Chain A
Amino acid sequence: MNPTVWSVIKSEWIKFRTVRSTLIGFLALVVLTLGIGGLVALAIKSHINDHGGEGRAAFDPTSDSLVGLFFAQFAVGSIGALMMTSEYATASIRTTLSAVPKRVRVIVAKCVVLFASFLVVGEATVLVAFTIGQAIFKGAGLSTTLGAPGVLRSVLLAGLYLALLGLFGFSLGLIVRTTAASIIIYAAVMLIIPIITNFLPSAWQNVLNQFLPSNLGQSMMSPLGTAHSFSAWVATVILTAYVAALVALGTVLFVRRDA
């Protein structure tokens, strides 16, 4: 690798790990994934035989052990956005760009640091969440293993989903430059748009919903696939394309704008 890019990555890594908000964000990610994931798994287990067992039809031991991710994704998006917006809020972007005037390098370095740390922490967290979930389901004879078809893939793609969302938050921070606006847009996309599409005719819903990031995530982490959604790999490609397009747009703006 180009030695200069490598030194910028080292610099961004020092910056990333030396503010407490990073640690708090990762802590939130782990606690929400494991805590809420565990609680939801317990609830599913105790209700699975209600109403003559109709819950069993929709039950999937893999994705149902990873439900905590849909809460943790807000922590991930916030850390991603803050990586950029904190630089604008404190004006430290000027110091950063004085040290590294080649702006694309700054973006590359920030993306590498963010993506790598989310991937490592994300994968570790989902593996633990999966293990806890299976331990809970085992009592009801419902558990699965990483060796079952599609399960390992789903668990690994769940970690990737988190890392991609981190970059999604980052790209919003890069484009809008304030923390509040980034988090509002992020929450709108992840939370509010899915509610709005619920009011659409179901034919439209079936087409549109599968393109929403949260549904793509659901597709990525379910081993067997569900109706009206993309396969895990197609969903991964689509989400990656979204993120790449947004980071590219943000980079173009970043290079053009006065700091």
Chain B
Amino acid sequence: MLKIDHLSKRYDDTLAINDLDFEVKPGVVTGFLGPNGSGKSTTMRIIMGLDRATSGSATINGQRYQDLRTPLREVGALLDAKAVNPKRSARNHLRALAASNNIPFRRVDEVLEFVGIASVADKKIGGFSLGMSQRLGIAGALLGDPQILLFDEPVNGLDPEGIRWIRDFFRSLAKEGRTVFVSSHLMSEMAVSADEIIVIGRGHFITSGSVDELTKSATGSVLVRSADTPALVRALNDASALETLNDGAIAVSGLSAEAIGEIALAQGIALHELTPQRASLEEVFMELTSDAVEYGQHRGVEQ
């Protein structure tokens, strides 16, 4: 169990994280979502004991990371795939990690095999592509067979095949009952790879829930087309907000498709189309974080 308890981090005069408070459950993939600069990586670094919290804490099964005896056996993390000495070979890099936590060297060969880079194990890491570096980072995270795994922007720089591989991999880790915590600034990625999502913006907690809950909570509109648009507009006007679209259709917000259909029936208006427009997760995300984007574009710039 990974617990973030009223965590804040201040750098000089900027508050990078403001009172984050949540838990990451085992058995599911939890997405940690926010625009760039929203504090995701800072949170991850504090969990790993790399940065100090200004207040609050991050604990792993009740212990701070710094107090874990053999941390690699409890938490595996890939924060920055390039945070390795490029002059060392992949195998030696992993052996040094393994030795520090009393993990047998045979495990190094196992994880190299598992992530598919065994054939380049004795090559210098400096020559690796970003995709291969990511795989090496994942191998390092798996070294101690930990129950909790953290990944910071793991799909960045991966090719489509690599992305699919990593999604399946997260699912299988979660299925084994592990805690999988994955950050991303891409809602579309989280929508397909995560079960639960925690959204932050500018260091603040915004919302959390399952992917389904988050999409449902968004106010979708209903697209309606009718033979007698003016009559339909009159009938619906009291109950909802309407927007007439260019092609004669109207977008209705605030009423469900069922309600619209019944109102139309009661008024004897024939409907040609009645389509609920489900808000995409991307839109939900944009809506949620629009106030919280650090370097957001100004809207309504003078022409």
Contact = CB atoms under 8 A, between A and B. Distances in A.
A21 B87 contact: yes
Give chain A's interface residue range (CB within 8 Å of chain B): 20 to 34
A259 interface: yes
Contacts of B92: 14-15, 18
A7 B84 contact: no
A133 B45 CA distance: 55
B52 A258 contact: yes
Interface string A4-32: 10011011101100111100000000000
B71 A99 contact: yes
B99 A90 contact: no
Nearest to A15: B96
A95 B83 contact: yes
A100 interface: yes
A259 B96 CA distance: 19
Contact of A11 (B45, B66, B89, B100): B100
Given A15-B88, A90-B85, A91-B83, A98 B101 contact: no
A4 B65 CA distance: 16
Nearest to A90: B85
B106 interface: no
B140 interface: yes
B66 A92 contact: no
Nearest to A87: B85
Contacts of B96: 11-12, 14-15, 18
Contact of B50 (A7, A21, A258): A258
A182 to B, nearest CB: 17
A99 B97 contact: yes
B254 interface: no
B20 interface: no
Interface residues of B, number: 33
Contacts of B84: 90, 92, 95
A166 to B, nearest CB: 19
Contacts of A94: 45, 48, 50, 79-80, 83
Interface in B70-126: 70-72, 77, 79-80, 82-89, 92, 95-97, 99-102
Contacts of B45: 94, 258-259
Contact of A95 (B69, B87, B102, B140): B140
B89 A18 contact: yes
Contacts of B66: 101-102
A56 B217 CA distance: 94
Nearest to B95: A14
Contacts of A139: none
B276 interface: no
A86 interface: yes
Interface string A78-93: 0000000011001111
B212 interface: no
B49 interface: yes
Contacts of B82: 90-91
Contacts of A21: 87
B44 to A, nearest CB: 10
A237 interface: no
B140 A10 contact: no
B68 interface: yes
A94 to B, nearest CB: 5
B102 A101 contact: no
B65 A99 contact: no
A14 B99 contact: yes
A3 to B, nearest CB: 7
Nearest to A7: B102
11 contacts: A11-B97, A14-B95, A18-B92, A20-B87, A90-B85, A92-B84, A94-B50, A98-B71, A99-B101, A100-B100, A101-B66
Interface of A: 3-4, 7-8, 10-12, 14-15, 18-21, 86-87, 90-95, 97-102, 258-259
Interface of B: 45, 48-52, 65-66, 68-72, 77, 79-80, 82-89, 92, 95-97, 99-102, 140
